[in-house]
Structure 1
Amino acid sequence: MLNKRIITSAILGSVLMMSALAANASVMLGGTRVILGEKDRQASIPLKNTGTSPYVVQTWVDAGEGKNKAPLLVTPPLSRLDPGAENILRIVRISGDLPSDRETVFWLNVKEIPEKSDQVNVLQVAVRTRIKIFYRPAGLAGKPDEARSLVALSVVPGQDGKGAALRVSNPSAYNLTFTGFKINGDKEQTKAGMVLPFSSSDFPLT
């Protein structure tokens, strides 16, 4: 039986994710997500070069991996950021009909491209940071901070009838992200992810 006392580790997972990100990227964003309201003219997020070298910063918005078209535009799309320098990215809606009864998620991509090295046999890596953009229509039912309490959990057969899975159902109008679940204390753990509004996702159980 599934113990009703299920603890999400979303906060811890987010901290660990940001720590790993900080260890690899020099151009740091001033947030882990962006919310663009229907009535907002734009949303913005700061970025800063915390490294010791200049970078060319390329930015774009997509609707998911492999889905390049999105009704959002980010400026500036290309800029130079010197060590210690800061800039502001601005995200605006340019076109397209989006659902009015739920959030829609897009992705902000920020790629830091190092300047060409004068040294030979040097490996240079362009690091990409990727965070979510939530387009939030006005007048959505419920409140974002109450959506997690509405989640329904159940155990269902696994993919292709093999094993079992934890089904997470989200009846709210908001996107919910889980990094994992602990079930019956630490006896069972499962990975997780984002569950879209008015939908459910299955996560395999061992």
Structure 2
Amino acid sequence: MKRFYQTIILMLGLTCIPSWLYAGILASQTRVIYSEGEREQTLMLANTNEYPILTQVWIDDGSNNAEFEHAPFVVLPAVFQMKPKDVKGIRLIFNGMELAKDRESLYWLNLYEIPAVKKQDLEHDYLNLSMNTQLKVYFRPEALKVLPIDEINRQLQFSFPDHGAQSAEIIIKNPTPFYVTAISLSLFNKTKQTTVYEWLNILLPPFESPLLKLENVDLNPSDAYVLKYHLIDDRGEVHAFEQAIPISK
């Protein structure tokens, strides 16, 4: 069990983004890909705290709502205790809800941890901090052909809106049936060799074209611009890409 716990911590150290490092309860995966037709999936959790915790888990739409009633998955067990350095497996079971067949559906797995309180502390003032960690859960219809991250990137289309050269937005078109997570985005001016603007992350829904806002930025029509970014694949691994963006005339 100790060796298995160490394996989980090593995996997380290699694949997780910095915000995960503050969580006391960590999962063996940074996301769950639930393929249509599977009976269930098991996710391993590790309590990295030096104290026991009470853990509640549930699926919602990202709203942190433990009473969310329209989740397509049941999580078992829903509430359990974990000792320090303990490892626990939870089961995600699809309940048969009707979901889209031509694209992925996205939900969120919540891992809510409450530190145990010593009996003597109840007689004094104390600060007891709880924490909720969220993981993406993708439901992938069996009709979808899985694409490598390089192919998904080739299909993404970046452009400035056609309403003036000094646009304050960038359009990212995702024509694929998959959710795409992009992190560490930066608009780079190749002419001046400088970074114009940066974003932490953005989620690109299937078949949609979200806008990236540029606050207080003027773009020079005669300059060449490149968007540099990283995409996260099914395994949680990060891949670097870049695309040139033509200025609208």
Q: TM-score, normalization: structure 2?
A: 0.69
Whichever of the two has the greater Rg, that structure is 2
State the match for 1:198 in structure 2: 207
Q: How far 1:163 moved relative to its partner?
A: 5.5
* 3-state SS of paired residue (1:58): strand
Q: Are 2:179 and 1:181 equivalent residues in the alignment?
A: no
In 2, are the aligned partners of 1:171 and 1:199 still within 8 Å (CA)? yes
1:115-130 equivalences under 5 Å are 115-117=116-118, 118-119=120-121, 120-130=124-134
1:110-189 equivalences under 5 Å are 110-117=111-118, 118-119=120-121, 120-141=124-145, 143-145=147-149, 146-156=151-161, 164-184=168-188, 186-189=194-197
Quick one: which amino acid aligns to residue 208 of structure 2? S
Q: How far 1:63 moved relative to its partner?
A: 1.9
Q: How far 1:157 moved relative to its partner?
A: 7.3
In 1, are the aligned partners of 2:160 and 2:167 still within 8 Å (CA)? no
Structure 1 47/171 Cα, relative in aligned 2: closer, same or farther at 3 Å? same
> Percent identity between the aligned chains?
25
Quick one: which amino acid aligns to residue 169 of structure 1? K
How many angstroms apart in 2 are the aligned matches of 1:75 and 1:60? 9
How many angstroms apart in 2 are the aligned matches of 1:86 and 1:163? 51
Quick one: which amino acid aligns to residue 198 of structure 1? F
Q: How far 1:27 moved relative to its partner?
A: 1.2
How many angstroms apart in 2 are the aligned matches of 1:106 and 1:26? 22
Moved more, 137-146 or 119-128: 137-146
How many angstroms apart in 2 are the aligned matches of 1:187 and 1:55? 44
* 3-state SS of paired residue (2:17): helix
In 1, are the aligned partners of 2:16 and 2:30 still within 8 Å (CA)? no
State the match for 1:52 in structure 2: 50
Higher relative contact order (CA 8 A, sep 6+): 1
Specify every segment of 5 or more residues in structure 2 that has no aligned partner in the other structure, as ranges. 1-12, 218-249
State the match for 1:62 in structure 2: 60
Q: TM-score, normalization: structure 1?
A: 0.83
In 1, are the aligned partners of 2:64 and 2:110 still within 8 Å (CA)? no
How many angstroms apart in 1 are the aligned matches of 2:211 and 2:96? 33
In 2, are the aligned partners of 1:157 and 1:164 still within 8 Å (CA)? no
Deviations 1:44-69 (A, max 9, x none): 21101111110011000002327722
In 2, are the aligned partners of 1:107 and 1:133 still within 8 Å (CA)? yes
Q: How far 1:189 moved relative to its partner?
A: 2.3
How many angstroms apart in 2 are the aligned matches of 1:16 and 1:35? 16
Task: Count residues in correspondence.
Answer: 189
What is the root-mean-square deviation in Å for CA atoms of aligned residues?
2.4
State the match for 1:21 in structure 2: 20
In 1, are the aligned partners of 2:188 and 2:197 still within 8 Å (CA)? no
